[in-house]
Amino acid sequence: MNRQVAFWIIALLALVALPFVHRDPYHLHVLVLILIWSFAYTSWSIMGRFGLVSLGHGGFMGIGAYVTALLWNHLGVSPWIGIPLSMATAGVLALVVAYPCFRFRITGHYFVLVTLALSGIVLQVITATRDYTGGSLGYTPQRAQSGKGLFALQFDDKTTWYLIALAVWVAGLVIWRAIDRSMIRHAMEAISEDEDAAAAAGVNVTAEKLKITLISALMTALSGALYCQYQMFISPDTVSGIAVSLQMVFAAIVGGVYVALGPTVGAVITIVLAEVLRISFGTKAVGWDNLVYGILLVLFIIFLPKGILGSVIDRIKSPRKPSRGHEQQTVPIARR
Amino acid sequence: MQSFLDIFDIYLLEAVINGILLGGVLALLALGLNLIFGVIDVTWICYAELVMIGMYGMYYLVQVFHLPYWAAAPLVILLVALLGAALHFFVIAPLLTAPPINQLLATGGVLFILQSFATVAFGIDFRNLGIRLPVLALGEMNFSYARLLSFAAALVGMVGVYLFLTRTFTGTAIRAIAQDRQIMPLMGVDPKRIYLVTSAIGGGLAGLAACLLVLQYDVHPFVGLSFGPITFLICVLGGLGNFIGGFIAAFVFAEIISLGGLFSDLEWGYVLAFAFFIVMMFIRPAGLLARRS
C-alpha cells in the first residue's frame, strides 16, 4: 500500500514538474485541453458509473461557461465570483430537473430523454438570446487590462493554465475517490441494481441520487467555466448541446466508466486522435475524427463495455478470479 | 385597431395551420421510432440521421442523376429501409441481451458515424433539390405546397403502416411480439425476422420523411439535430411505444413550436416545447395517454 502511495506521489510530482522541463507551448496546450476535458468526463462518470446516464451534461457545461463569461462582460463580475455563481446556477437547474425525475422514478430511457431535453433547452436559450450571448457565432470574454489578469482569471502563460487544470483534475480524482469510499457508493450501487430492494433496505433513493447528481453537475459547470477562461472563446456547439453530451458519454465509455482514471484515458485517446488527424490531414480531416469516435463507441459498447482501462485493470488484477463488480459487465441501469 | 386585429388573427390562423402541417411529418417520424421501440424495445438515437442520409439520397438522385422526384422517392425509401435493417443487424442484434441503455448509447455512436460520414463524403455545404413548389394563397394566408404535400403524404404513409400492421400476417406478428416477446417464438414466429422487418419499416418511414423534408429544408450533415431531439421528446411525451399518444403529441409539439415562433423567434418556440416536455414529464411521467397506476 505504501509503495502505491509513493508511486502516486511521484507521478503527481512528475506531472507538476513537466511544464518547467518541457516548454513546448503546443504540447502544453494539448495537455491543458486533456486535463480540462478529463475533469468534465470524470464529472459525468461520477453519475454515469451508477447507471444514471445523463445527456444533460452539455447543458451544465454550457451554463458554467456562459454564466461566467456573461457576468464578466456585462456586469464586470470577476470569474472568482462568477464561477461559483455559474456552478450554483447549474446546481439549481440540476436539482429542479432531477428532483421530480427521481421522485417519480423516471429511469432508463426516460431519464436519458428528459436530460436530453435539458441540454436542448440550454442550447436553444443560448442561441435565442443572441443579443447577449452572440448566438451560434460564439462569445468571447473581454480581455482584462494588463496587470489585472489574476482578477479576471486570464493568463497568457500556458504553464499557469497547466497547473490550474492539473489541480482541478486532481481534485476531481480526489472527489471520485472520496465517493468511492463513502456510503453513497454502496447506496448507489444498490439503487442501480434494484431501486425497490434498496429502498426496502433503508436507502433513501431520491436523496442519494440527488446528491450524486448535484456533485456531478457542479463539477461539470466548473469544467465549462475553466474551458471558457482558458480558450477565451465559447460557442454553443463546443460547450453545450447534445453533441457535447454524447462526446462525454463516448469518451467516458471508451476509457472506462468504473475506474477513476478511465475518463482521463478516454480524454487522452479522443483529443490525441483529433489532434493527430488534424495535423496530418489538415482541413481535409473535418469529420474523420468523429467518424472514428463513432465506430469506436459502437465497437466498445458491443465488445468492451468496461472500457480500455477497466478491461486492462481487470486483466492485471485477476486473470482467473473475477474481481468484485465483474458481474457488472455493462452500465447497469437497465435491469427491469 | 380593427384592421390590426384582423391581420393578427390571420397570422395566428396561418401559424395554427402551419403547425398542423408540420405535425404531420413529425407524427410520421414519431411513428417510426415508436414502432421500433414498441417491438424491439430499442431507442434509435440516430433516427434523424437516417433521415439526413435519405435527404442526401434524394439530393443526389434528383440533382446529380437527374431522376424525376417521383422516381427518386421510392428508391430513397428503399435505401433507408435497407439502412435501418443493416443498423439492426450490425449494431442492435449483438446487443439485444445487453441493458437497453447500452443499445441507446450504441445508436448514439451510429449518430456520430452517420454525421461525420456525411461530412466526409458530402461536405458541409447546404444543398437543396432546386425544386420550388408554388405557394398557395388562401385569402391573406400563404401555405407552401411543399408542406401540404408533406402532410398528405405523411398521412398516407401512416395509414399504410396501420393497414400493414392490422391486415397482414407479418403485421399481426409484429403487434403480437410487441405484447409478449417470450410466447411468440412458441407460436411459430421468428423474432429475428420480425425485428429485421420492423427495423426496415422504421427505416422506410424515415426514408419517406426524408423525401418530404427535403422539399422544405436544405440538407447538411447536421440537419438531423434540428428535428431529431424533438422527435424523441414527442415519443416520450406520447409514451414510448404508444402510437396514438405519439400521434397526438406530434401535433401538440408542432403547435407549440409554430405558435411560439409566431410570437417570438423560432428558438423560443423550441425552448417552450422543451420546457413543456419537462413539465409534462412530471405531471404524466409515463406519457400523455398513460393511465395512472
Grid cell digits, residue A266: 478516454
Share of residues in chain A with pLDDT > 70 (%)? 93
Residue A165, min C-alpha distance to chain B (Å) = 28
The grid coordinates listed for A83 are 464561477
β-partners of residue A193 are none
B261 domain-assigned: no
Range with top average pLDDT, A191-195, A309-313, B56-60:
B56-60
The beta-strand segments (E) located in A128-266 are: none
Q: How far apart are CA A266 and CA A274, in angstroms?
A: 12
Residue B5 has pLDDT above 70, yes or no: no
pLDDT value of residue B244: 86
pLDDT at A332: 45
- C-alpha distances out from residue B67 to A255, A296, B12, B63, B129, Å: 47, 37, 39, 8, 11
CB-CB contact of B28 with B213 (8 Å)? no
Q: Do A291 and B267 touch (CB under 8 A)?
A: no
Say whether pLDDT at A31 is over 80: yes
Is A288's CB within 8 Å of B120's CB? yes
Domain assignment present for B145: yes
Q: Could you give the CA distance from residue B10 to residue B240 in angstroms, rounded to a whole number?
A: 36
**Residue B236 at interface with chain A, using a CB cutoff of 8 Å:** yes
- Say yes or no for a CB contact (<8 Å) between B101 and A124: no
Helix orientation angle between B243-263 and B266-283, rounded to the nearest 10 degrees = 140
Which pLDDT value is given to residue B148?
84
Which of B91, B119, B267 minimises the CB distance to A124? B267
User: Quick check: B91 contacting A, CB < 8 Å?
Assistant: yes
Distance in angstroms (rounded) separating the CA atoms of residues B98 and A328? 11
Residue B199 pLDDT grade (very low, low, confident, very high; cuts 50, 70, 90): very high
Nearest residue, CB atoms, B116 vs list A113, A114, A288: A288
Q: What percent of chain B has pLDDT over 70?
A: 92
H/E segment holding residue B135: strand B135-138
- SS3 assignment, position B174: helix
Confidence band of B7 (pLDDT split at 50, 70, 90): low
Q: Does A174 touch chain B (CB under 8 A)?
A: no
pLDDT of residue B266: 72
With an 8 Å Cβ cutoff, is A60 touching chain B?
Answer: no
| Minimal Cβ distance to A287: which of B94, B120, B270 | B120
Q: Do B199 and B91 contact (CB within 8 A), yes or no?
A: no
pLDDT at A322 over 50: no
Assess B112–A contact: CB distance below 8 Å, yes or no.
Answer: yes
What spatial distance separates the first Cα and last Cα of chain A, rounded to whole Å? 40
Q: Which domain holds residue B117?
A: 17-219
pLDDT tens digits along B134-165? 777 776 667 778 788 888 888 898 899 889 98
pLDDT tens string A52-72: 889 899 999 999 999 999 999
Closest residue in B to A118 (Cα–Cα): B274
Q: Is A273 on the interface with B (CB under 8 A)?
A: no
pLDDT of residue A318: 66
Q: What are B63-78's pLDDT values in tens digits? A: 888 888 888 899 999 9
Domains of chain B: total: 1
* A contacts of B95 (beta carbons < 8 Å): 301-302
Whether A62 and A256 have beta carbons less than 8 Å apart is answered as: no
Domain presence at residue B55: yes
Q: Which residues of B touch A333 (CB under 8 A)?
A: 99-101
Per-residue pLDDT averaged across B37-57, rounded? 89
Q: What is the mean pLDDT of chain B?
A: 83
* Lowest-pLDDT choice from A174-183, A194-203, B197-206: A194-203
- Please report the pLDDT score of residue A82 as a whole number: 92
Angle between the N-to-C axes of helices A205-231 and A183-193, in degrees from 0 to 180, rounded to the nearest 10: 110
For residue B143, the surrounding DSSP H or E stretch is strand B141-144
Give the residue from B84, B73, B83 showing the smallest Cα distance to B131: B73
- Please say whether the structural domain A3-316 has been given the CATH code 1.25.40: no
Residues 6+ apart with CB under 8 A from B246: B27, B30, B31, B33, B34, B234, B235, B238, B239
Residue with cell 516548454: A23
A192 CB neighbours in chain B (<8 A) are none
Mention every residue, 6+ apart, whose C-beta is less than 8 A from residue B224. B46, B48, B49, B51, B52, B111, B114, B115
CB contacts of A283 in chain B (<8 Å) are none
Q: Which of A238-247, B85-94, B262-271 has the lowest mean pLDDT?
A: B262-271
- How far is B232 from A55, CA to CA, in rounded Å? 13
Measured between beta carbons, the chain A residues lying within 8 angstroms of B281 are 100-101, 104, 106, 110, 114
Residue A335 has pLDDT above 60, yes or no: no
Nearest to B202 by CA among B87, B59, B69: B87
Could you tell me how many residues make up chain B?
293
Interchain contact, B98 vs A253, CB within 8 Å: no
E strand or H helix that includes residue B144: strand B141-144
Q: What stretches of chain B show up as alpha helix (H) in DSSP?
A: 2-40, 47-59, 69-87, 100-122, 145-167, 169-179, 191-216, 224-238, 243-263, 266-283
Mean pLDDT, range A175-201, rounded to an integer:
88
Chain A CB contacts of B110 below 8 Å:
294, 298
What's the mean pLDDT when you consider all of chain A?
84
Query: Does B267 sit within 8 Å of A335, measured CB to CB?
Result: no
| Cα-Cα-Cα-Cα dihedral sign, residues A6, A37, A263, A30 | negative
Copy the grid coordinates of residue B83.
Answer: 439502412
Residue A329 has pLDDT above 50, yes or no: no
User: Alpha-carbon distance A170 to A173, whole Å?
Assistant: 5
| pLDDT tens digits along B217-259 | 888 888 888 788 888 888 888 887 788 888 888 998 888 888 8
**Residue contact A243–B116, C-beta within 8 A:** no
Which triple of cell numbers denotes residue B116?
461525420
User: ipTM score of the complex?
Assistant: 0.77
**A202 has pLDDT over 80:** yes
Distance CA B271, CA A127 (A): 10
pLDDT computed for residue B77 by the predictor: 93
User: Is residue A205 within 8 angstroms of chain B, CB to CB?
Assistant: no
d(CA A140, CA A144): 12
Question: Taking phi first (over 0 means left), then psi (-120 to 50 degrees means alpha), and beta for anything else, what does residue A182 get?
Answer: beta
Q: What is the mean pLDDT of residues B89-107?
A: 83
What's the rounded Cα separation, in Å, for the pair A79 and A69?
8
Q: Can you give the pLDDT at residue A311?
A: 79
- What average pLDDT does this structure show over A211-229? 94
| pLDDT above 50 (res A324) | no
Is any Cβ of chain A less than 8 angstroms from the Cβ of B106? Answer: yes
Q: Under an 8 A CB cutoff, do B277 and A117 touch?
A: yes
Residue bearing the bigger pLDDT, B133 or A196: A196
A281 touches chain B (CB under 8 A): no
pLDDT the model gives residue A292: 82
- Strongest mean pLDDT among A11-20, A307-316, B122-131: A11-20
The CA distance from A75 to A78, in Å, is 9
B204 alpha carbon, distance to own chain's centre: 11
Does the structure show a pLDDT above 60 at A325?
A: no
Highest mean pLDDT pick, A32-41, A146-155, B86-95, B251-260: A32-41
Taking the Cβ of residue A137 and every Cβ of chain B, the question of whether any pair is shorter than 8 Å is answered with no
Say if residue B8's pLDDT is above 90.
Answer: no
Phi first, then psi, for residue B57 (nearest 5°) are -55, -45
* Interchain contact, A104 vs B285, CB within 8 Å: yes
| Cα Rg of chain A, angstroms | 20
Position B140 scores a pLDDT of 67
DSSP lists the bridge partners of residue A64 as none
Q: Name the band, by pLDDT with cuts 50, 70 and 90, for residue A120.
A: confident
Cβ(B236)–Cβ(B287) below 8 Å: yes
Q: Report pLDDT digits (tens) over A122-159.
A: 888 888 888 888 888 888 888 877 777 778 788 888 88
Instruction: Report pLDDT for A221.
Output: 95
pLDDT at A246 over 80: yes
Statement: residue B79 has pLDDT above 90: yes
- Which residues have CB under 8 Å from B243's CB, separation 6+? B31, B34, B35, B38
